[in-house]
Amino acid sequence: MNITEEIQELKKEKNAVILAHYYVNSEIQEIADYIGDSYYLSKAAVDLKEQTIVFCGVSFMGESAKILNPGKTVLMPDTTADCAMAHMADEETIRRMRNEYEDLAVVCYINSTAELKRHSDVCVTSANAVKIVKALPNQNIFFIPDRNLAHFVAEQVPEKHFVYNQGYCPVHEEIQVQEILKEKELHPQAKILTHPECPQAVREMSDYIGSTSGIIAYAGKSECMEFIICTETGVRSELEKQNPGKKFYFTATKPVCHDMKKVTLEKIRDVLKNGENEIQVTEELRAESVRPLQRMLELAR
């Protein structure tokens, strides 16, 4: 039996399902039952019939799945796979902002710890942030942790006042204007598709800005045959699978999230076999952090 067959057998035996983000390695995406961006995966995690969820992604994703499904077992193939940005905000600043602005909504990117979520009013992902911020009754928005996504949303919702936090994704932050220009010189017909976690200068030169699913959908619908992709390289496999004949280029310094790449087939097999690396969230933390997640799911509907 090869490792893929072993995983399929174990999945049946343990009544388990595999969820994977587009940034994990392609061989993981191939065996996943659900692949998607953060918003899709948080929706998919609700109402699954299987008892065990193996979450192929970083810790805030598995943690969110557990918070939304307290009765389920959520296993992480590698517990050290974490998102640096998820920690780039703090409770003390949230408190200070709440004292400073009467009518404040703390809007928390889902790329954050449960501790940050519990102090927030609503969660968002890159796919639904604009819609949700527009729908909030509040005029003042403190957007944590990502400054780049915050600025992107603020540009789309100019009628609201934004307070910025200084978090960022180290992978998207490193995508360079000069490297994109080099690709554009080589492929002048290519459209530039960008994730909103990228810095403003990169967003400004882009033809489209959206979540990983948004980028994949745009490339599929476009009549253009070439694209410069400004996000993590894991999306390549889905882009190529859905669009045979179209060409996708990444910047020379490949944007790679090494934490997402920690997930391997062997680790998936092992956690299925041993039931190790189970996400644990105290009931107190879960009860408080589930509110902003549920509000996101309601407002984004």
Q: Which residues bind ligand 13P (CB under 6 A)?
A: 37-39, 83, 111, 125-127, 169, 197, 211-212
Is 259 an interacting residue with respect to ligand SF4 (CB under 6 A)?
yes
Nearer residue to ligand 13P within complex by CB, 212 or 233? 212
The answer to whether 147 and 195 are in contact (CB under 8 A) is no
Give the shortest CB-22-to-ligand SF4 separation in angstroms. 10
Which of ligand SF4, ligand 13P, none lies near 113, with the C-beta cut-off 5 to 8 A by kind? Answer: none
Distance CA 16, CA 245 (A): 35
Per CB under 6 A, does 238 bind ligand SF4? Answer: no
Q: What are the structure tokens assigned to 144, written together?
A: 């944590």
> Minimal distance in Å, beta carbon 85 to ligand 13P?
8
- Provide the minimum distance between the beta carbon of 289 and ligand 13P in the complex, in angstroms, as a whole number: 18
CB of 266 to ligand SF4, least distance (A): 21
Instruction: Return the closest-CA partner of residue 259 out of 117, 77, 89, 108.
Output: 77
Residues in the chain: 301
**Mask of contacts with ligand SF4, 154-183, x by CB under 6 A?**
---------------xxx------------
Start-to-end CA span in the chain (Å)? 42
The residue among 226, 231, 222, 218 whose CA lies nearest residue 245 is 226
The continuous run of DSSP H or E covering 226 comes out as strand 226-230
In whole angstroms, the minimum distance from the beta carbon of 109 to ligand SF4 comes to: 9
Q: Among candidates 205, 251, 246, 200, which has minimal Cα distance to 225?
A: 246
Strand partners, 119: none
- Which residues contact ligand SF4 (rule: CB under 6 A)? 23, 58, 83-85, 111, 169-171, 197, 232, 257, 259-260
